[in-house]
Amino acid sequence: KPSIAILTSGGDAPGMNAAVRAAVRAGLNADVDVYGVRCGYQGLIDDDFIPMDAKSVSHIINQGGTTLLSARCEDFRTEAGRATAAENLKKRNIKGLVVIGGDGSFTGALKIAQEHGISVVGVPATIDNDIYGTDFTIGFDTAVNTVMEAVDKIDDTAESHNRLFFIEVMGRDAGFIALHAGMASGCSEILIPEEETDVKYLVSRLNDLHSRGKRSMIVMVAEGDQCGGVFKLARQTEDALKDMQVRVTVLGHLQRGGSPTCADRVLACRLGVAAVEKLLQGVGGVMVGTRNQQVVTTSLAEAIEKKSKPDEDMIRVAHTITY
């Protein structure tokens, strides 16, 4: 009987559980033996496999994080580590592996595929949305909704106290979270790594808005090197701003958790099933994603190599309506 294995790897994202559940059930429905691997690639190397049945994924569709657990695994970066992982798969006659994670995980997946002939299908799950080959990654919608709700709350205080808030959100290399959540929560400015930040211009714009009667302002900043970080940016701005108190909030890891939204659950269900269907059709070395509501595949090599950037028009619209 053919067997497949499923693992979650890298940073956790809401909806990973929904993807695991979908992949397990798609496998069982096709009469395939399905294993879950705990702690990502670490579990492949440590031989931490669990036989899955339909019940083993009951009541997880609504849970954040990953019940299969995740890990950063240094050993998998070595050829010897990947050889051990491949042995553990082969001794169970597992020919297909579903890897739910981000581009680091896909890089490892491609290596074990090339070195040991394991068929691998990637499922993009990261809150950052920075993976080429899909309109959205699993977890992004939940994260932007979490950020939006947090900003709404901070805005109550900003408005009551005549304050300027800098809010740092996740996205070291990509501004998707800042752009979407910043637009949705009506921020005054959105600073993303895809664009240069001109602090002088920022200060003059904020002063201008303030002098035109705007009491509170929120500037959303994607983490990373935005002018040396959000605290430095706030200090620089505070010195130059007329009579406004400046505060900084770093949202941090609260953005990663939580029960997945409907959109993330549905995306995870579709991609989890698609991943197993591809494996059973004999297709490997690809990532499944969606483009214009349709499930599509992209080669893992392309998904890893190419960068996903926020749409130019999204950026233009965001700047048009920030005030």
Considering only residues 6-65, where is the footprint of ligand ADP by CB under 6 A?
A: 9-11, 41
CB 267 within 8 A of CB 183: no
Residue 311 beta carbon to ligand ADP: minimum distance, rounded to whole angstroms: 22
Helix (H) or strand (E) holding 157: helix 140-161
Strand segments, DSSP code E, in the chain are: 3-8, 33-37, 49-51, 94-101, 119-124, 163-169, 189-191, 217-222, 245-250, 286-291, 294-299
Residue 44 beta carbon to ligand ADP: minimum distance, rounded to whole angstroms: 9
Q: Phi then psi for 74, rounded to 5 degrees?
A: -70, -35
Determine the residue with CB nearest ligand ADP.
Answer: 104
140-161 helix and 176-184 helix, angle to the nearest 10 degrees? 50
Q: Are strands 119-124 and 163-169 parallel, antiparallel or unpaired?
A: unpaired
Place of tokens 């591809």: 278
Considering only residues 195-214, where is the footprint of ligand ADP by CB under 6 A?
A: none
Residue 39 beta carbon to ligand ADP: minimum distance, rounded to whole angstroms: 10
Residue 196 beta carbon to ligand ADP: minimum distance, rounded to whole angstroms: 26
Interface residue with ligand ADP among 49, 76, 165, 166 (CB under 6 A) is 76
Site residue total, ligand ADP (CB under 6 A) = 17
CB 121 within 8 A of CB 283: yes
| C-alpha dihedral sign at 158, 161, 166, 167 | negative
Interface residue with ligand ADP among 30, 46, 50, 77 (CB under 6 A) is 77
The reply, when asked if residue 172 is annotated as ligand binding, is yes
The reply, when asked if residue 254 is annotated as ligand binding, is yes
Q: How far apart are CA 26 and CA 30, in angstroms?
A: 6
Considering only residues 263-292, where is the footprint of ligand ADP by CB under 6 A?
A: none
Among 47, 48, 53, 128, the active-site one is 128
Residue 20 beta carbon to ligand ADP: minimum distance, rounded to whole angstroms: 15
CB 32 within 8 A of CB 116: no
Binding track over 87-126 against ligand ADP, x by CB under 6 A: --------------xxxxx-xx--x--------------x
Supply angle C-alpha 147, 291, 254, rounded to 5.
15
Residue 193 beta carbon to ligand ADP: minimum distance, rounded to whole angstroms: 17
The reply, when asked if residue 72 is annotated as ligand binding, is yes
| C-alpha dihedral sign at 234, 235, 240, 244 | positive
Active-site residue, 47 included: no
Interface residue with ligand ADP among 20, 37, 68, 73 (CB under 6 A) is 73
The reply, when asked if residue 253 is annotated as ligand binding, is yes
Q: Are strands 119-124 and 94-101 parallel, antiparallel or unpaired?
A: parallel
Annotated binding site for ATP: 11, 72-73, 102-105
Annotated binding site for Mg(2+): 103
- The binding site for ligand ADP (CB under 6 A) comprises 9-11, 41, 72-73, 76-77, 101-105, 107-108, 111, 126
Catalytic residue list: 128
Annotated binding site: 11, 21-25, 72-73, 102-105, 126-128, 163, 170-172, 212, 214-216, 223, 247, 253-256
